[in-house]
Amino acid sequence: MASLSENMEGPVIKAAKLALEMENVNYVLPFVKKDFEEELKNAFEKTMMVRDLSGEAAELADYWFFETTVRLHKLGKEAYFTGLKPPELDGGPVISMANKAIETEDLGELREFLMKFMGGEIEKRFQAVVSRKNYRINNVEAARSYAEAMMEFLRFSHNVYKYVELCGE
């Protein structure tokens, strides 16, 4: 799955597009660590100069600026830049719902979707465990199937908890 920051419709590229449109690098600077601010400012200035040459030059310069912005953003996160990705690789409906929640200042639709989605995933794994629980002790394959389902349920539950806990810090 493409990283949100590498997506051509993601928040980093949107901020870079707005910076170019408004001719103000400050729209995109918040997405880059201070250590890389000067490099981004230099890239912005070069891009703005080249954009005046022609439509094709502007298109190429803009794309280079987007790549530079995302590369610096990822570098600040100690992550690898693997190139810009088309908008259709957005990973599902959550990002558009989250953006809508921010715009409307209403969390309802996103909360409902995520709770329903998570509830369904937890239920699916739980039912897999319960349906395999009453195996015959001499049926090792059934016991393995139960153990695998149980471990998946426990691992999933733990990982969801740890992810939310980690992101909440």
pLDDT attached to residue 44: 97
Residues 62 and 109 in one domain: no
Give me the mean pLDDT over the 92-103 stretch. 84
Of 61, 76, 91, which one is at a domain's C-terminal end? 76
Give me the mean pLDDT over the 128-145 stretch. 95
Helix axes 94-104, 108-132, angle to 10 degrees: 140
Whether 98 is covered by a domain: the verdict is no
Of 14-18, 60-64, 87-91, 153-157, minimum mean pLDDT range: 87-91
pLDDT attached to residue 99: 83
CA–CA separation, 85 vs 70, rounded Å? 11
Give me the mean pLDDT over the 88-100 stretch. 74
User: What's the predicted TM-score (pTM) here?
Assistant: 0.65
Residues 70 and 12 in one domain: yes
Whether 100 is covered by a domain: the verdict is no
Whether 16 is covered by a domain: the verdict is yes
pLDDT at 1 over 60: no
